[in-house]
Amino acid sequence: MNPLITPADLAALDGAVILDVRWKLGGPPGRDSYREGHVPGAVFCDMNADLAAPAGPGGRHPLPETGRFQEAMRRLGVSGSRPVIVYDEADAMAAARAWWTLRYFGHSDVRVLDGGLRAWRAEGRPLSADVPEPAPGDFTARPGGMPMLDADTAAKLAYDGLLLDARAAERYRGEVEPIDPVAGHIPGAASAPTTENVDPAGRFHLPEFLRERFNTLGAVPGVDVGVYCGSGVTAAHQVLALEVAGIPAALYVGSWSNWVADPSRPVATG
């Protein structure tokens, strides 16, 4: 199934749960933007409260505990029998984390609005300021639906397969580090900035384009692929782009923020 959906196909879709996942590191709060206008019927999904556990040694956005995630999704109206559409402002950097987390916990029908709310608006489609109160869903969270890495398996994959660093190239090289306490990258990882997955409007490049991009980086048949970023958010976007390209990949959820929490782990620069 194509993990992306167009605004036209979303407008024609009946019975889906729509989650607004607008979020930016450092703000402003996505909930404020949601209240100003959203896809009609959409419910706000909070990145920090609904899609991650509290920050700590596990990283800045560690995976939520199974029961807590199930409770959050049921509160948002998510059921296993209904498709779920997730979107953010434009480029799916936040929406992809919702897509991946729902898929990891066993939901089989989750799609991302390609181009986000910007694409919806560009087609002249309506917005709503009404805040719906969804009926509780019956989603049952079952972990293991998507492959996942921890620090040890990520380190091994960097040499035995292909580990992609989805952050900006200057962060990979260790020239700057605006968020985490240590600059650099996991030894053996390859730089693959997530921003190159989408066009200037925030829509994903065509599958053929993405396949060629990742093939060039070494994601070829027979090679296991994993992805990390700063805290497991934009890396989920990379996993989504790889899926669009037809390439399965594992996510290191803790990512760099978990890696550098242990000072004994090696760091590469350059």
Q: How far is CA 251 from CA 23, 116, 153, 169, 229, in A?
A: 20, 22, 11, 19, 9
Decide if 45 is catalytic. Answer: no
pLDDT for 165 equals: 98
- How much of the chain exceeds pLDDT 90, in percent? 97
CATH of domain 4-122: 3.40.250.10
Tokens of 101: 């987390």
Per-residue pLDDT of 47-86, as tens digits, reads: 999 999 999 999 999 999 999 999 999 999 999 999 999 9
For residue 69, how far is the Cα from the chain centroid? 15
CB atoms under 10 Å from CB of 8, counted, come to 12
pLDDT for 29 equals: 78
Per-residue pLDDT of 236-252, as tens digits, reads: 999 999 999 999 999 99
Distance in angstroms (rounded) separating the CA atoms of residues 201 and 181: 32
Residue 262: CA count within 13 A, CB half-sphere: 12
- Do 1 and 24 contact (CB within 8 A), yes or no? no
- Which residue spans of the chain are classified as CATH 3.40.250.10? 4-122, 148-259
pLDDT for 25 equals: 81
Q: How far is CA 6 from CA 120, 171, 229, in A?
A: 8, 32, 27
Task: Indicate yes or no: pTM above 0.85.
Answer: yes
Per-residue pLDDT of 128-176, as tens digits, reads: 999 999 999 999 999 999 999 999 999 999 999 999 999 999 999 999 9
pLDDT for 26 equals: 76
Per-residue pLDDT of 4-32, as tens digits, reads: 999 999 999 999 999 999 998 877 778 99
Is the per-residue pLDDT at 177 higher than 90? yes
- Catalytically annotated residue among 229, 235, 239, 253: 229
Distance in angstroms (rounded) separating the CA atoms of residues 210 and 84: 24
Cα-flanking dihedrals φ and ψ of residue 110, to 5°?
Answer: -130, 130
pLDDT band, very low/low/confident/very high, at 33 (cuts 50, 70, 90)? very high
Is the per-residue pLDDT at 209 higher than 80? yes
pLDDT for 148 equals: 98
pLDDT for 27 equals: 74
pLDDT for 1 equals: 81
* Record: fold of 148-259: Oxidized Rhodanese; domain 1 (3.40.250)
Tokens of 248: 């399965």
